[in-house]
Amino acid sequence: MRIVVLGFILLMMLGLNTDVMTSFAGDPFKEVQHIVALAIAGLTIYRAYARFIERRPVSELALPGMGRELGVGLLIGAGLYATCELILMALGIYRINGLNPMSFMVPAIAMALSSGVFEELLFRGVLFGSVEKWFGSWAALVVSSLVFGLTHLINPQGSLEGALFIAVEAGTLLAAAYMLTRRLWLSIGFHVAWNYTQSAIFSSIVSGNDASQGLIRSTVKGPDYLTGGDFGVESSILALLLCTSTGIVMLVMAAKRGKIVPPIWKRTADERVSGKSIHQG
């Protein structure tokens, strides 16, 4: 029911985000205002569904500690993408031609917030949480990652290779962030910062979408296995190695801290009937 009802609502709101960004494309400040309002509405609907329909504490969106986890996610997400581009610069593949006005960095805020908030609510909060409740953490990681990756096939320059790269690197990283903290703030931070840094600062292609100008005017010329080609850096060996290795480190940490949930048939009778929220680990 969570997937059918809450998932459907969030998916419709994600589509509404796209309509808003199209309608206010010429006024980025209004575009950001509307996306922020929709993000708040999405978080509120998710919390209300958990509280009043599922009748459980919404620990995955608890406010204490939110600032720290969101901040860490933003720093690491931006750092991971910047590292990819710095390597490309060192190899002479990414070349800076000049800078645009700072105002060019504003439109990407809406895109990054929309994808970061709604996709994490949908793929980690709804899908991962629902699969994990019955089949455990590892099955939830695989299912949520594959579905998350394959949805990128609908992007203008979407490709199966790019979708699979995202499933492995981003699916692992974002699910690991959720498994480690049992909250969504870290994964939201990763997602928002990666997309924003990619578009607003480096003016690069985001997951097969059409590129838009950000702060840096650049020229990219190199092999697709390093640049990602028309899909963007997510389809490069650099992102695959950096993001997947970061995700694996967090998975190891989660396992050591006892945050891995077994399938329901491997849990004790007390665990099955206690009513303890899976989200609380």
Instruction: Dump pLDDT digits (tens) for 142-197.
Output: 999 999 999 999 888 888 999 999 999 999 999 999 999 999 999 999 999 999 99
State the average pLDDT for the chain. 92
- pLDDT greater at residue 191 or residue 205: 191
Mean pLDDT of 81-92: 96
Place of tokens 């680990």: 281
pLDDT of residue 278: 52
pLDDT at 232 over 50: yes
This prediction has a pTM of: 0.92
Higher per-residue confidence, 190 vs 280: 190
How confident is the model over 124-130, as a mean pLDDT? 96
The residue written with tokens 């974002």 in the block is: 174
**Full DSSP string of the chain:** -IIIIIHHHHHHHHHHHHHHHHHTTT-HHHHHHHHHHHHHHHHHHHHHIIIIIS-S--GGG-STTHHHHHHHHHHHHHHHHHHHHHHHHHTTSEEEEEE--GGGGSHHHHHHHHHHHHHIIIIIIIIIHHHHHHH-HHHHHHHHHHHHHHGGGGSTT--HHHHHHHHHHHHHHHHHHHHHHSSSHHHHHHHHHHHHIIIIIT----TTSPP---SEEEEE-S-HHHH-GGG-GGGSHHHHHHHHHHHHHHHHHHHHTT-PPPPGGGS-HHHHHS---GGG-
Judged against a pLDDT cut of 50, whether residue 281 lies above it is answered with: no
Per the structure block, which two tokens stand in for 273? Answer: 């009937």
Across 43-51, average pLDDT: 96
Q: What are phi and psi of 76, to 5 degrees?
A: -70, -40
Q: Is pLDDT larger for residue 245 or for residue 281? A: 245
